[in-house]
Structure 1
Amino acid sequence: MRIEVAIDKRCARLLVEDDSVVLHLYPAANVAYLTYSEAQYSIVYSQRIILYVFRLLNANRSNKKMLVLPVFVTLLCLVYISCSSLLSKACFQYLVQCRRLSSAIRERFLAYRYLFNGTSIIEDKYRKSAHEPFKIMTPEGKITMITSQRHIRELDKAPRHVLSLHAVAKKPKYTMHGFEWKDQRGIEGTGFVRALRSLLTTRLPQLIPSLKGGVQDQVATEISNEKVLKNGWRRVPLFAASKRMITRLNCLVFFPRELSEDPSFVKAALEFPEDVYLAAETIRILPRNIAPFIAKLLTHNHRSTSVMYEYLSPLVKQRMENAATGSGDYNGIQADDCVQWLIDTIPKSEVWSVDRLVGEIMAIWYGSLHTLAIATTYALVDLYSHPEYLASLKAEVDGPLFARFETTATGLPELDSFLKESARLSAFESTGIRRHALEEFKFSDGLRIPKGTEVSVPYRTMMRDDEYFYNALTFDGRRFLKNVTGPESVEKDSSMLSEPSDSWLVWGAGRISCPGRFYAVVVLKLVLSQILTGYECELEEIKGSRSVQWRTALIPKASITLRMRPRAKD
């Protein structure tokens, strides 16, 4: 085969003589002409490919080895032409010349690429944006990303009937026993916020003893379930263990003892968030006419959802009847759990059905479990990836500050700082403060969010930017300790993990920040403190990335393993 290349300012010609093929590349016109067996076909490529091949040919005309790519492109064209023999020439020419079809295919490819590389796409766009708004293509449409403090403040102040938080995730119709949120939520949606932010937070000191005991028992159970290795080590799959741990602790807070100690209910509660997530993603991706069937198949006919509903429905019904008669008793015991707090905070002007309240409970459960389990996993990975902090952190939780934490649910400043740094560098969600436009919204500078699209903040990438945090890509477990020496930066304004700020958007911003954040911080501190004081641990080497990307989430790999053994008593 003889290969000949001819190049001028406008065109590159690649001749493969034996096959009577000539490929003409015109970068400026974004077109390639292929001459084959005396027939000419016009192929519309993306400009990036045309320019790349053109420059490659221009730079390597004397180097035949570097011509592999253009030859491969030519052969691809030949195969494509051969396979199109069943089509008429007119039909084939029409298809390959149709720019709209090419553009649509490319857009769909980029949209579905987002499913598996969402975080990477956002990071790349952010670096190129120079802190200006940018758009991300997803299978459902475009999301506008904003990063300026002015835009974030305006987003927070936008009317709820225009930019809605709940409309972002309003379609659990086939995933949570038919429960469906409204696009807008006003006074009727404030009950669960008060239940978590006020009632749960004020009870944290009373809950800490049972939560601490739950951590100790669950860690011992996880270790005892694994085989004993040399020197007493046991290999614990970290993410799976964290999910079981958080399920147990959340059950202690959410439900009465007879449910939190029922193996069938606990198993369903553990599986429920993953089943809902799997079903929801199936429904979002697949055509509507088959999505419900596939979702049922993947979740065993929503088995975990049905089990939770069957347990919760009679409980909620009896509790609501007791509330109507002025009695807070349940089986002779004064009810004091999340179920009861939600009942007690139902707006007086609203009439909620049993199904409605069960739906709210299951929705809150879904949000409270998987996020906290992932945060726990990454916190432990960071802890044992940076052993230089182990001694000082253990000294803090072994000292008098832990007693203060147990009585106030606050304190342990070094552990707090370490967890905050873990949340900053190991944020498992790339975006936050996400809103769906029920109507077109216009920012003060003219930026428009069209109706039916979404707007969000890429806070994970922002927290890894030197403009917001000094030496941002370096893990510094004491970064948020007050009165530390070092370069001044915005993170010195606050050291508490639970406090949202303009530069700390993990919990949201302004009017809508996570109501359960105080509980989450207490759980994280309890888990790390009990493992620090009770066990020796080593993180096994993680090969490659420690996470799997799905949309904007970074989910820990199931293969992450922590070797554990009881600490020798002094």
Structure 2
Amino acid sequence: MGFFAAHPTRHPVNCPDINSLTPYLADFATNSTDVTIPAAVVILALAVFQVVRKTGIKRSPLDALPSVGIPRYPCGFYVGAWNYLKHGRAITQDGYIKHRGKPFKVALANRWLVLVSGRQLVEDLRKASDEFLSFSEGINSVLHHEYTVGHEQHHDPYQIPVVRSPMTRNIAVCFPDLYSEVVAAFENLVPATTDDWISVCAMQTMLPVVSRVSNRFFVGLKCRDPEYIKITTQFASDVIRDAAWLHVTPPFLRPLAARLFGHLESATRRAMKHLGPIIQHRLNMDERYGRDWPNTARPNDMISWLVDEVRGHQTRRTVRTLTRTLLNVNFGAIHTTTEGCLHALYSLAANPNYIEPLRTEISSIVQTEGWTKVAIGKMVMLDSFMKESSRFSPGGAVGMLRHAVKDFTFSDGTVVPAGTLIAVPILAEHHDERNYPNAQIFDPFRFSRMRDVAGEGLKHQMVTPSPSFLTFGLGRHACPGRFFAVNEQKLIMAHVILTYDFRLEDGLRPEDEWLGLMQGANTSAKVLFRRRKYITDA
């Protein structure tokens, strides 16, 4: 998806310098007796315009930054913006190599995107306060959260502390339910036998699996309702699609266009039919008893944690607001986790020699620890495989988006004015030889070898962000749900590896799909599954 925004910082058209035109106009005036006076007037007007342009318009600090992918002719900016929409990944990589750790800019539809790389500048971005560089406005400039997930969700994302604290704390407690849902989901969606191979569309299989497992954690057994699965999976796709066409909609028309053609309102109404009675019952019980219900245990799920969070906040404490919050949580969970599982599945199916070492590790640990969060944490080789898969497919060419609310100065003296969009070329960072030896080679156990070094065990886990691994962002705005996402991905893949033999129809890893700067796993590829005859299980 290309990045477009509504507020240009300065008109960027590359117009020819008036000094280069003056000789031609003067010659025209000299040789044209009938139009000498009009020509003189034109020359004078252009001369005045030149003076005003150079003295009356404040130059943007962005003029000092090199641009990449901009043709050197009139209106080249807009040609560059179109090229960046089509070839953003290649242009970003070219700029990264050419400017090696120094900022550069690329053209979006009507604004510049400044790309910064290297440890120090990325650290500057990490430490910058939202008063200067806004994370939420950066995301909003791409996904248009105000229209795709809701105004209240954009301005008051109260689910973030819930994801960061009670949800993460309860992964271990709820792990038996998560595992049972993984088993049940695959039994339904991949009914393979030990005798025959069956072919399934990987995307259409993994998406409902992830919805079921995630929502077992969020809303309990309602996760198995086919209509509810359809709502949650469709919403995740609709947010991306709606954001794409909102990019090319004039800003003043977006509120009306989103209302007429967007999917948020219809998704909210449909979800409320399923979640409304559950949420209302929780609110009623909370009003009467708080956390301590009589004669029964209060469900330990996302609904309960959200109810705790909104206690005392009447504007948040409505069925509609809580339903929409759960939809937003689903969008964050389902899309990224599905992509992570698909990338890993495709890479593993295309390289079957990696399966047996992983199967041996998983089987050994499960026999000792059972299917628990502790067991998943000990699967170091699987963690390494998943992280290497994410290094190659982080979800896009750029990340760590920020919108400059005020002028901001980086430690190298680079100034970006208010209104500028800033990002890190994460795919290029992930493939930089300075960060990873043999960075262009898929090395599944790269990180498990790093963890063998004394004192390096925690540093190279998949959940640990670093300046060289930016899939989950960095610093206080690193993805708060990454602990659940990583455990869920590893659990799903561990079950697949132990339960099935699997392969690709032609043996070749399906090509990733790109839309502008956004990277996605192949949506049409099929994977063959056959249930293993001898499964070592706990």
TM bin, normalised by shorter chain, reads: 0.7 to 0.9
Is the contact between residue 480 and residue 492 of structure 1 (CA under 8 Å) also seen in structure 2? no
For the residues of structure 1 that align with 2:416 and 2:264, how far apart are their CA atoms? 38
1:476 to partner: Cα distance: 1.2
Question: What residue identity is the alignment partner of 1:536?
Answer: D
Q: Which residue of 2 aligns with 1:504?
A: 469
- Considering fraction of residues, name the structure with more strand: 1
In structure 2, relative to structure 1, the CA distance for the partners of 1:350 and 1:289 (3 Å cut) is: closer
Q: Deviations over 1:320-340 (max 9, x none)?
A: 443344434599651211122
Q: Which residue of 2 aligns with 1:429?
A: 396
1:265 to partner: Cα distance: 1.8
1:406 corresponds to which of 356, 368, 372 = 372
Q: Deviations over 1:240-278 (max 9, x none)?
A: 211111111111011132x32322222111101111221
Q: Which residue of 2 aligns with 1:126?
A: 96
1:557 to partner: Cα distance: 2.2
SS at match of 1:366: helix
Residues 164-203 of structure 1: pairs in structure 2 closer than 5 A:
164-170=134-140, 171-176=144-149, 179-182=152-155, 189=157, 191-203=158-170
Question: What residue identity is the alignment partner of 1:157?
Answer: K
Q: Which residue of 2 aligns with 1:420?
A: 387
For the residues of structure 1 that align with 2:270 and 2:146, how far apart are their CA atoms? 17
Structure with the larger RCO, 1 or 2 (CA within 8 Å, 6+ apart): 2
SS at match of 1:554: strand
Tell which structure's C-alpha radius of gyration is larger.
Answer: 1
Q: Which residue of 2 aligns with 1:385?
A: 350
Question: What residue identity is the alignment partner of 1:234?
Answer: I
Is the contact between residue 350 and residue 509 of structure 2 (CA under 8 Å) also seen in structure 1? no
Q: Which residue of 1 aligns with 2:528?
A: 563
SS at match of 2:112: strand
Q: Which residue of 2 aligns with 1:518?
A: 483
In structure 2, relative to structure 1, the CA distance for the partners of 1:411 and 1:162 (3 Å cut) is: same
Is the contact between residue 319 and residue 330 of structure 1 (CA under 8 Å) also seen in structure 2? no
Question: What residue identity is the alignment partner of 1:127?
Answer: I
Question: What residue identity is the alignment partner of 2:442?
Answer: F
For the residues of structure 2 that align with 1:130 and 1:177, how far apart are their CA atoms? 39
Q: Which residue of 2 aligns with 1:269?
A: 232
In structure 2, relative to structure 1, the CA distance for the partners of 1:330 and 1:233 (3 Å cut) is: farther
Is the contact between residue 144 and residue 454 of structure 1 (CA under 8 Å) also seen in structure 2? yes
For the residues of structure 2 that align with 1:201 and 1:374, how far apart are their CA atoms? 21
1:538 to partner: Cα distance: 0.7
Is the contact between residue 111 and residue 137 of structure 1 (CA under 8 Å) also seen in structure 2? yes
Q: Which residue of 2 aligns with 1:54?
A: none
For the residues of structure 1 that align with 2:296 and 2:458, how far apart are their CA atoms? 49
Is 2:241 aligned against 1:278? yes
For the residues of structure 2 that align with 1:301 and 1:502, how far apart are their CA atoms? 35
Is 2:117 aligned against 1:147? yes
Q: Which residue of 2 aligns with 1:531?
A: 496
Gaps of at least 5 residues in structure 1 are 1-28, 32-39, 41-100, 183-187
**Fraction of identical pairs, as percent:** 25
Residues 171-570 of structure 1: pairs in structure 2 closer than 5 A:
171-176=144-149, 179-182=152-155, 189=157, 191-224=158-191, 232-257=196-221, 259-288=222-251, 303-328=266-291, 329=293, 333-346=297-310, 352-354=316-318, 355-400=320-365, 403-404=368-369, 406-408=372-374, 409-482=376-449, 494-541=459-506, 546-569=511-534
Is the contact between residue 350 and residue 508 of structure 2 (CA under 8 Å) also seen in structure 1? no
Q: Which residue of 1 aligns with 2:35?
A: none
In structure 2, relative to structure 1, the CA distance for the partners of 1:151 and 1:197 (3 Å cut) is: same
SS at match of 1:370: helix
1:508 to partner: Cα distance: 1.5
1:380 to partner: Cα distance: 0.5
For the residues of structure 1 that align with 2:330 and 2:181, how far apart are their CA atoms? 18
- Output the TM-score relative to the length of structure 1: 0.73
In structure 2, relative to structure 1, the CA distance for the partners of 1:444 and 1:437 (3 Å cut) is: same
In structure 2, relative to structure 1, the CA distance for the partners of 1:508 and 1:484 (3 Å cut) is: closer
- Output the TM-score relative to the length of structure 2: 0.77
1:525 to partner: Cα distance: 1.3
For the residues of structure 2 that align with 1:232 and 1:546, how far apart are their CA atoms? 27
Is the contact between residue 339 and residue 520 of structure 2 (CA under 8 Å) also seen in structure 1? yes
For the residues of structure 1 that align with 2:512 and 2:418, how far apart are their CA atoms? 34
In structure 2, relative to structure 1, the CA distance for the partners of 1:207 and 1:459 (3 Å cut) is: same
In structure 2, relative to structure 1, the CA distance for the partners of 1:349 and 1:217 (3 Å cut) is: closer
Mean CA deviation greater in 428-437 or 283-292: 283-292
- Considering fraction of residues, name the structure with more helix: 2
SS at match of 1:527: helix
1:159 corresponds to which of 118, 123, 129 = 129
Q: Which residue of 2 aligns with 1:12?
A: none
In structure 2, relative to structure 1, the CA distance for the partners of 1:524 and 1:197 (3 Å cut) is: same
For the residues of structure 1 that align with 2:223 and 2:210, how far apart are their CA atoms? 12
Is the contact between residue 482 and residue 492 of structure 1 (CA under 8 Å) also seen in structure 2? no
Is the contact between residue 211 and residue 334 of structure 2 (CA under 8 Å) also seen in structure 1? yes
Is the contact between residue 282 and residue 291 of structure 1 (CA under 8 Å) also seen in structure 2? no
In structure 2, relative to structure 1, the CA distance for the partners of 1:374 and 1:330 (3 Å cut) is: farther
Gaps of at least 5 residues in structure 2 are 1-18, 22-27, 29-70
Is the contact between residue 537 and residue 562 of structure 1 (CA under 8 Å) also seen in structure 2? yes
Is the contact between residue 118 and residue 549 of structure 1 (CA under 8 Å) also seen in structure 2? no
For the residues of structure 2 that align with 1:560 and 1:540, how far apart are their CA atoms? 9
Q: Which residue of 1 aligns with 2:45?
A: none
Q: Deviations over 1:40-81 (max 9, x none)?
A: 9xxxxxxxxxxxxxxxxxxxxxxxxxxxxxxxxxxxxxxxxx
Question: What residue identity is the alignment partner of 1:375?
Answer: G
In structure 2, relative to structure 1, the CA distance for the partners of 1:236 and 1:403 (3 Å cut) is: farther
Q: How many positions carry a matched residue from both structures?
A: 462
1:493 to partner: Cα distance: 7.8
For the residues of structure 2 that align with 1:235 and 1:282, how far apart are their CA atoms? 34
In structure 2, relative to structure 1, the CA distance for the partners of 1:359 and 1:495 (3 Å cut) is: same
For the residues of structure 2 that align with 1:167 and 1:203, how far apart are their CA atoms? 30
For the residues of structure 2 that align with 1:362 and 1:128, how far apart are their CA atoms? 42
SS at match of 1:205: helix
SS at match of 2:528: strand
Is the contact between residue 214 and residue 248 of structure 1 (CA under 8 Å) also seen in structure 2? yes
